[in-house]
Structures are given as C-alpha cells and as structure tokens.
C-alpha cells in the first residue's frame, strides 16, 4: 500500500539545498518564511523525515531536540523536537525567526506578550494573548519577536519539525517565568 509519506520523494538533502537558496543573504524574514513553509511542510510529510525521528526525549527537560542540520556558523538549523506526554516548555523567545510543522500528534501553543519595559535586569512581565492547537501538517510561523510556550496534552509522544534562522543555543534567547516575573538565558539539551 502506498502511503502519502511513501509517495513524497522530498528529502532532508533537498530541503537543505532549497533552504540555502532561499535564506542565505536574504534579510526579508517574511519572504523567507513564506517561501520555506511549503517546503518544510513537504519535508515534514516525507518518508525521509519520518525515518530520522528518534523520539529520545530527555526526561529532565521533557523533550528531545534532535538537530538534523546546521551550517558551520550555526545558521540554517533544522531540528526534530519530540515531546513527552504532559510536558512542554516555559514561555520563551528564539532570538531568530522560526517555523514549526506538526509531524505526529497535536501540540498546544500559548502566545505571550512582554508588558514591562525591559530595563530591570532579570525581570520580565508577560501577558498571555492566545492559545492554539497545531495538528500534524499545520505550520506555525515564528517571527523573531514572538514569545510562546508549547505543551503536549496528549498521552503519546508528539513530534514536530522546527526550522530556525540560527540554532537557538547560539542566539542568546531567553525563557520567562510569568509567575515569578523573571527572564533568564535558555539553552536546550541536544540529543
Ligand atoms: Fe519555541
């Protein structure tokens, strides 16, 4: 039986070629996101991507951050994130643009707005704006100023494909605690 993934010959190597052609020397974030989205959706639905997913979640951080590609200067990052049931992230930014496509299972995204003026070191106040569930095949575009948090409310490991302008451990990005009103640097453990 031919499944949609079997019928999709697009591969990581094809995507990396296209990624370079679209994003290198292109400072227009909206143009990059618009042109990359259909290609990332094709990769997310491909047999090649599904064969690479390891789901080796780190029980401490609650998810796996599996890097499939980055350039020597850490730009053009392609990663698979697998999320343990009932786990997720604190609110965070990325320090770069990003694009997320669902691969397996639904993922809840909460979107936040920073409402303090950013002048007090370590202090941040967030206001929750909205919440949206992303299903497999659905795409979330992250402009560099977006703050979001992710949650897997299901009983199964969920998987999503993440494309970033730069590997997020090299962007000086931050995590937020809305209750304690703190902001701290955030690095992820790579699997
Ligand atoms: Fe994120």
Q: How far is the CA of 3 from the centre of ligand 1 (A)?
A: 30
* pTM higher than 0.85: yes
Instruction: List the domains of the chain with CATH numbers.
Output: 12-185 (2.60.120.10)
For the chain, percent of residues with pLDDT exceeding 90: 95
| Side-chain-facing half-sphere of 9: CA atoms under 13 Å | 0
Give me ligand 1 centre to Cα 173, in Å.
10
For residue 178, the CA-to-ligand 1 centroid distance in Å is 16
**How many Å lie between the centroid of ligand 1 and the Cα of residue 8?**
27
| Span from the CA of 12 to the centroid of ligand 1 (angstroms) | 21
The pLDDT tens digits of the residues spanning 133-163 come to 999 999 999 999 899 999 999 999 999 999 9
- Mean pLDDT, rounded, for 115-122: 97
Instruction: Give one word for 133, left, alpha or beta, with left for phi > 0 and alpha for psi -120 to 50.
Output: beta
Cα of 1 from ligand 1 centre, angstroms: 36
| Residue 41 CA to ligand 1 centre (angstroms) | 17
CA 7 to ligand 1 centroid distance, Å: 30
SS3 32: helix
Digit-coded pLDDT (tens) for 47-92? 999 999 999 999 999 999 999 999 999 999 999 999 999 999 999 9
What is the helix, strand, coil percentage profile of the chain, to 5?
20, 40, 45
pLDDT above 90 for 36: yes
Give distance in angstroms: CA of 166 to centre of ligand 1. Answer: 13
Ligand 1 centroid–CA 11 distance in Å is 24
């Amino acid at each position: 039986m031919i499944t949609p993934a079997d019928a999709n010959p697009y591969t990581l190597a094809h995507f990396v070629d296209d990624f370079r052609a679209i994003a290198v020397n292109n400072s227009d974030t909206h143009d990059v996101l618009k042109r990359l989205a259909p290609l990332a959706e094709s990769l997310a639905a491909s047999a090649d991507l599904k064969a690479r997913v390891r789901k080796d979640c780190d029980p401490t951080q609650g998810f796996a951050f599996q890097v499939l590609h980055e350039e020597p200067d850490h730009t053009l990052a392609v990663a698979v994130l697998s999320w343990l049931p009932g786990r997720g992230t604190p609110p965070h930014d990325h320090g770069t643009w990003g694009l997320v496509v669902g691969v397996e299972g639904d993922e809840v995204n909460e979107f936040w707005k920073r409402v303090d003026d950013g002048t007090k070191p370590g202090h941040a106040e967030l206001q929750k704006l909205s919440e949206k569930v992303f299903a497999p095949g659905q795409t979330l575009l992250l402009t560099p100023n977006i703050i979001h948090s992710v949650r897997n409310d299901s009983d199964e490991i969920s998987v999503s494909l993440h494309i970033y302008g730069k590997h997020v451990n090299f962007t000086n990005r931050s995590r937020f605690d809305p209750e304690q009103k703190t902001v701290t640097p955030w690095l992820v453990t790579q699997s």
